[in-house]
Amino acid sequence: MRAKQTSFDIAYRAGVSQSTVSRALRNSPLVNEETRRRVQEIAKELNYKVDRNASSLRTQLSGTIALLLFEDPTNDDSLINPFFLSMLGSITRASAKKGYDLLVSFQQMSNDWHADFEDTRKADGIILLGYGDYTDYEEKLVQLIKQETHFVRWGADVKGLSVVSVGCDNFDGGYQVTEHVIKNNRQHFAFLGGVSTGSPEFLDRYTGHCQALKDNNLKVDSNLQIDAISTDESGYQAAKQLIAKGIKFDAICTASDLIAIGAMRAIQEAGYNVPGDVAIAGFDDIATACSTSPALTTAKQDTVLAGEILVDKLLQLVSGEEAHTQLMPATLVVRKSCGS
Amino acid sequence: MRAKQTSFDIAYRAGVSQSTVSRALRNSPLVNEETRRRVQEIAKELNYKVDRNASSLRTQLSGTIALLLFEDPTNDDSLINPFFLSMLGSITRASAKKGYDLLVSFQQMSNDWHADFEDTRKADGIILLGYGDYTDYEEKLVQLIKQETHFVRWGADVKGLSVVSVGCDNFDGGYQVTEHVIKNNRQHFAFLGGVSTGSPEFLDRYTGHCQALKDNNLKVDSNLQIDAISTDESGYQAAKQLIAKGIKFDAICTASDLIAIGAMRAIQEAGYNVPGDVAIAGFDDIATACSTSPALTTAKQDTVLAGEILVDKLLQLVSGEEAHTQLMPATLVVRKSCGS
DNA sequence: AATTTACATGCATACGTATGCAGATTAGCC
DNA sequence: GGCTAATCTGCATACGTATGCATGTAAATT
């Protein structure tokens, strides 16, 4: 039972050649219906499985997608950002749906990831995932392109390079949320999230936020914008800084749910009521957002859809088709943290 | 640049044979220091990467671990249970640390997963992850053993089979949490979580819970135990059922944080104060547990540690060493939902 | 009946690497 | 200097599959 079965073993039992076995199992039309059935039956009986290494070596196709998850170097927490964890889940599902295996790998930006996966033939294509300014690794993207590696990435469009990016309309998301809060009669807005530094996503969200304020004749006070990375703790600290400034505010928009959650904690600890005294809005719609108290109003990024789109586009590239950058809508999810 | 480089190309440039290249790159002591250096230099220059398929075919080793994540069939939610998502993250990290790639795959219990991964040589070993009664798939475990597949699983020990399981001391976790709540002067305990049906984990937690009650001369009222699966919604429904019964209770222990979160919502909606009127405790310590209001007191399963242990044990098996089932401690995390 | 066509199978080989074995070169020894 | 030992390199082959090409057979066409 244990000595591994090969296609030759099947061939022997079926009284045909190895070629025929291979064809029969791949449902080649070249092989007779009757023969095919017999071969497949025997293969099943002997519990034969095609050796993927041999198969991949021969076909130069691995049936595998690699997912490279970049760690946020500013965050030494050993846990993964729940938004990306959710993306990971949906990408796993999406690739399974397409019959592809998923190879998951954490990477430091600084590593040699740009050369690895497809050149080793471990994967047919690569999905790049992670917050961060792509200028951090633009040269590596250039190299990927030069190598003709098939890849797609999550994030904002990369100008000047023919890279397929799938990202959320962060500007619009920021705009929508802010507008919603304005409608709840808030006038003095703070914004928590790294803008000058770091991810273009956060910047876009902030830009959308500011535009909504302007369109509603509200003032943008840059003193009320405080940098934060996407962690609970960073949001907490930023909110404390904000309070310490002593400037009046009745609403906080944030660049991510985690920031919002941390901020909410700080605000409540300081004795304010949410949303009574201060409205707080998030971004992402992570699972936790439903469970905060009050539940978090936020801009949802549809990770399930995003995962499917990323996988679809990548497989298009793999099969030689064209694929293009796509912007996904962000949708406002109204809960309790900003009033009705 | 694009035509893929092979070891023959390197050999040609270095003026040596392909064998020598292979040896040089694998740091074989057979090859001269000087030659090795030159070969490695050229390989780097040409951006050469070993073809993993060819390599694996030859060595019969893939350098890959497969993670099979079983879906809870009772939960058609397209999202993954946050506890397992967290395990996924830590396992990914742990295997990366050991130099292994991780192949992630969702599976239905009913599939042919038991034969797939190692026989196809895609992976050197398998990690099985998922709630559920192993009797659901005991026959498949038997087959895995018969095939001499290397695998470890998360969960309670499987009696009668030589299977390496790594699991949390659910009994003790349930005991600890309950004892803590008792110390906060509660007397009338309800328990939410599927006991008669489904996962042995839940049953163990419940058993620990009951033991703590008994040891403190408190009554176990089976009318106050209500089944629930590990989702927010299920916990919400169970809590509503509980309230509907009209039996007095001042504490709810649950089989998972998600259940607790749902229950908390139901209890608060019904106008009770947590923890004033009702103490609520969870199990798992998922990320969300810090962010509920009040923050959830719970029994923590250390997923980071669990991931490392699982990977370590698996690699021991792969390298022919013995490995044994291990029980991990659950640790009480006191927050606000049960009083001090 | 001779020829073409269609269909089914087998032969031989390539994918790129790793390694047992033999050979070559140099050093070491009496 | 002739021998063994030590060190390094190359040759040849195997891993298990997929597929181009040739072959063989039966049916269809003329």
pLDDT mean across residues, chain B: 89
Which positions of chain D lie under 7 Å from any protein Cβ?
A: 7-12, 14-20
pLDDT given at position A102: 93
Cβ–Cβ below 8 Å for A122 and B106: no
* pLDDT per position as a tens digit, B101-139: 999 887 776 666 665 776 788 999 999 988 666 666 777
Tokens of A108: 């430091």
At residue B58 the predicted structure's pLDDT band, cuts being 50, 70 and 90, is very high
Q: What is the pLDDT of residue A176?
A: 97
Closest C1' nucleotide to B8's CA: C16
Whether residue B80 lies within 8 A of chain A, CB to CB, comes out as: yes
With bands split at pLDDT 50, 70 and 90, how would you rate the model's confidence at A133? Answer: low
Of the candidates B241, B240, B234, which has an alpha carbon nearest to the alpha carbon of residue B259?
Answer: B234
Task: Give residue B18's pLDDT band: very low, low, confident or very high (50, 70, 90).
Answer: very high
Asked whether strand D has any atom less than 7 Å from the CB of B120, the reply is no
Q: Which of A276, A217, A270, A279 is nearest to A240 (CA)?
A: A270
Helix axes B200-215, B170-183, angle to 10 degrees: 40
Average pLDDT of the segment spanning A212-222: 95
Spell out the alpha helix ranges (H) of A46-119: 52-59, 82-97, 113-119
- Which helix H or strand E contains B239, and what residues bound it? helix B232-245
Pick the more confident residue, B274 or A117.
B274
pLDDT average, residue stretch B30-42:
92
User: Is the pLDDT confidence value at B72 over 70?
Assistant: no
Contact A54, B57 (CB under 8 A): yes
- Mean pLDDT lowest among A119-133, A199-213, B227-241: A119-133
Sign of CA dihedral A218, A220, A224, A227: positive
H or E stretch at B164 = strand B164-168
* Closest by CA position to A144, among listed A111, A117, A176, A108: A117
Which H/E stretch holds residue B303? helix B303-318
Q: What CA–CA distance (Å, rounded) separates B209 from B198?
A: 17
Does residue A209 surpass a pLDDT of 60?
Answer: yes
Is residue B19's beta carbon less than 7 angstroms from any atom in nucleic acid strand D? yes
More confident residue, B333 or A196: B333
Give me the mean pLDDT over the B239-268 stretch.
Answer: 94
State residue B330's pLDDT score. 96
What is the per-residue DSSP string for A208-256? HHHHHHHHTT----GGGEE---SSHHHHHHHHHHHHHHT---SEEEESS
Q: In this structure, what token pair is assigned to residue B64?
A: 């890959």
The answer to whether A291 contacts B232, with C-beta atoms less than 8 Å apart, is: yes
Decide if A207 touches B, using CB distance below 8 A. no
Q: Say yes or no: Cβ of A19 under 7 A from any atom of strand D.
A: yes
Pairwise pLDDT comparison (B177 vs B82), residue with the higher score: B177
User: Three-state DSSP class for A280?
Assistant: strand
Backbone dihedral angles phi then psi of residue B91, each to the nearest 5 degrees = -70, -40
Angstrom distances, CA of residue B40 to CA of A120, A143, B95, B314, B331:
16, 21, 26, 32, 49
Could you give the CA distance from residue A195 to residue B333 in angstroms, rounded to a whole number?
35
Residue of A nearest to B114 (CA): A47
* Segment A292-315, tens digit of pLDDT: 888 999 999 999 999 999 999 999
Report the share of chain A in percent with pLDDT over 90.
Answer: 66
Residue A110 has pLDDT above 90, yes or no: no
pLDDT in tens, B290-312: 878 889 999 999 999 999 999 99
- Other CB atoms within 10 Å distance of the CB of residue B95: 27
Q: Quick one: chain B helix, strand, coil %, rounded to 5?
A: 45, 15, 40
Percent over 70 (pLDDT), chain B: 91
By percentage, how much of chain B surpasses pLDDT 90? 64
A:124-183 residues touching chain B, CB 8 A cutoff:
146-148
**Domains with residue ranges and CATH for chain A:** 7-50 (1.10.260.40), 64-169+303-332 (3.40.50.2300), 170-300 (3.40.50.2300)
Residue A14 has pLDDT above 90, yes or no: yes
- Higher model confidence: residue B182 or residue A149? B182
Tokens 């619009």 appear where? A172
- Tell me the average pLDDT across A74-90: 72
Q: Is the peptide bond before B82 cis (omega within 30 degrees of 0)?
A: no
pLDDT in tens, B136-171: 677 788 888 888 889 999 988 888 888 999 999 999
Whether B301 and B83 have beta carbons less than 8 Å apart is answered as: yes
Q: Which tens digits make up the pLDDT trace of B194-234?
A: 887 767 889 999 999 999 999 999 999 999 999 998 888 88
Q: How far apart are CA A10 and CA A322, in angstroms?
A: 40
Least confident of A95-109, A113-127, B74-88: B74-88
| B138, B101 Cβ separation under 8 angstroms | no
Where does residue A284 fall: left (phi above 0), alpha (psi -120 to 50 degrees), or beta otherwise?
left
State yes or no: pLDDT of A43 exceeds 60.
Answer: yes
Q: Which residue of B has its CA nearest to A55?
A: B53
B214: exposed, middle or buried (C-beta count within 10 Å: 0-12, 13-18, 19+)? exposed
Query: What values do phi and psi take at A24, rounded to 5?
Result: -60, -40
Per-chain mean pLDDT for chain A: 89
Contact B47 A102 (CB under 8 A): no
- The count of residues in chain A is 340
Task: Identify which of B148, B134, B125 has the alpha carbon closest to the alpha carbon of residue B313.
Answer: B125
Amino acid letter for position A178:
T
Q: Do B287 and A292 touch (CB under 8 A)?
A: no
pLDDT bucket at A231, cuts 50 / 70 / 90: confident
pLDDT at residue A334, as a whole number? 96
Please tell me which of the candidates A85, A261, A291 has its beta carbon nearest to residue B261: A291
**Closest residue by C-alpha to C1' distance, nucleotide D9:** B20
Contact between A18 and A43 (Cβ < 8 Å): no
Contact B287 A288 (CB under 8 A): yes
Displacement of CA A320 from its chain's centroid (Å): 23
Measured CA to CA, the distance from residue A267 to residue A296 in angstroms comes to 14
User: What is the value of pTM for the model shown?
Assistant: 0.87
The mean per-residue pLDDT over the stretch B86-112 comes to 84
Flag whether pLDDT at B1 surpasses 50: no
B85 has pLDDT over 90: no
